[in-house]
């Protein structure tokens, strides 16, 4: 963060301000200076259409499916609802930044092991959301909290039980969801 450029001066009275601008952000740990051709660009379209990071998916573009979930300053958000122009100085983590040195992050490995994916389209969002969940809730293994906490991520294939099992396995809460009494 230290080597980011200063935020651009605000032209607070000019209606035509900020037609084009430059933002500095930390993307998967790397500081980037990104020229923005258009203030309307969302974080999701910035990643997908301009920076070549297509892991975050556009499933609804309305914050209703969670397929575009990324971490913004450590917290999970819907990238489709964040305007890129607001992100000067922000840190963004995407699925491409997960794991390292060719190894899978434990969540990624658990998703594969538990077959917590089918078509895979919602998967990067599910994993980034799970990462955010663990940061928010700690290692609370209560499956109801995991289910409620993952409910912003739709899955149309029906991988839900396996997704919850994968997250629980990462927490160390066992890898099978018990049948309720």
Partner 1 sequence: MRRFAYLRPARLEEALAAAAEPETAWLAGGTNLVELMKRGVARPARLVDLAGLEDLATITPLAAGGLSIGAAVRNADLARHPVILRDAPILAEAVLSAAAPQIRNRATTAGNLLQAPRCAGFLDPGAACNRRAAGSGCAARGGDGRDAAVLGATEACIAVHPSDLAVPLVALDARLRVAGRDGERTIALGTLYGADGASTLPPGELVRAVLLPAEAAGFAGHARYLKLRERTSFAFALVSAAAALRIAGGRIVAARVALGGVAPRPWRPAEAEAVLAGAVPTDALFRAAADAALAAARPIAENGFKIELARRVLVRALTLALRGTPARVPALAASPFAPAGEGARHG
Partner 2 sequence: MAEGTAPISPEGAAIGRPIARDDGVAKVTGRARYAADCRPPGLLHAVIAPSRIARGRVTAFDLDAAMAEPGVVAVMTPANRPPLAEDPDAKTAPIVFRLDLLQDDRIRYAGQPVAVVIGETLEAAEEGAFRLAPAYAAEPALVDIDAAEPFVPETVGLGAPVERRRGDVEAALATAAHRVQRRYETAAQVHNPLEPHAVVAVWEGDRLWVDTPSQNVARAQRRIAGLLGLPPDHVHIRSPFVGGGFGAKAFPAGPQVLGILAARLVGRPVKLVLSRAQMFGAVGHRAPTRQTLRLGLADDGTIAALAHHARVASSRFDDFFEPAAALSGGVYAAGAVETTHEAVRLDIATPVVMRGPGEATGSLALECAIDEAAAELGLDPLAFRRLNHADTEPISGRPFSSKALRACYDAGAARFGWAGRPLAPRSLSDSDGRLVGLGIGTAVFPSMMFQAEARALLRADGAAIVELGAHEIGQGAATALRQIAADALGLPLSAVTLRTGASDLPDAGGAAGSSHTATAGSAIHAAGTALVARLAALATADPASPLHGAGNAVLFAADGALHAGDGRRDPHAAVLARAGLGAIEARGAAAPDRAARASHAMAAHGAVFAEVAVDPDLGAIRVTRLVGAFAAGRIVNPRLARSQLVGGMIWGLSLALHEAAQFDPATGAIANADLGAYRIPVHADLPFVEALLVAEEDTLVNPLGVKGVGEIGITGTAGAVANAVWHATGVRIRRFPIRIEDLALAMPGREKEDDA
| Footprint on this chain of partner 1 (rule: CB under 8 A) | 7, 10-19, 21, 38-40, 42, 61-63, 66, 69, 72, 75-78, 81-83, 85-86, 129, 132-133, 136, 142, 144-145, 147-149, 151-153
**What is the nearest approach in angstroms of partner 2 to the Cβ of residue 166?**
10
**Torsion angle defined by CA atoms of residues 28, 136, 90 and 97, in that order, rounded to the nearest 10 degrees:** 10
Residues 2 and 66: beta-carbon distance below 8 Å: no
Residue among 5, 7, 18, 37 that touches partner 2 (CB under 8 A) = 37
- Extract the tokens encoding 57: 């998916």
- Interface with partner 2, residue 157, by CB under 8 A: yes
Q: Which partner from the list partner 2, partner 1, none does 12 bind, CB cut-off 5 to 8 Å by kind?
A: partner 1
State which of residues 162, 169, 170, 171 lies at the interface with partner 2 (CB under 8 A). 162
Least spacing, CB of residue 152 vs partner 1, in Å: 3
Residue found by looking up tokens 């309305």 in the block: 62
What is the nearest approach in angstroms of partner 1 to the Cβ of residue 119?
20
């Amino acid at each position: 963060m230290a080597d980011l450029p200063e935020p651009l001066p605000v032209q607070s009275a000019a209606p035509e301000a900020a037609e084009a601008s430059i933002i500095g952000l930390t993307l998967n740990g790397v500081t980037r200076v990104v020229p923005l051709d258009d203030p309307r660009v969302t974080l999701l379209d910035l990643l997908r259409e301009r920076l070549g990071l297509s892991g975050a998916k556009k499933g609804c573009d309305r914050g209703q499916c969670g397929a575009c979930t990324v971490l913004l300053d450590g917290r999970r958000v819907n990238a489709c609802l964040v305007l890129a122009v607001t992100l000067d100085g922000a840190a963004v983590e995407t699925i491409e930044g997960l794991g390292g040195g060719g190894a899978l992050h434990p969540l990624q490995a658990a998703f594969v092991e538990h077959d917590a994916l089918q078509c895979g389209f919602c998967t990067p969002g599910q994993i980034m959301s799970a990462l955010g969940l663990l940061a928010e809730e700690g290692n609370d293994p209560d499956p109801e909290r995991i289910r409620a906490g993952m409910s912003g991520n739709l899955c149309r294939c029906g991988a839900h039980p396996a997704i919850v099992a994968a997250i629980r396995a990462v927490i160390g809460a066992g890898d099978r969801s018990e049948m309720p009494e």
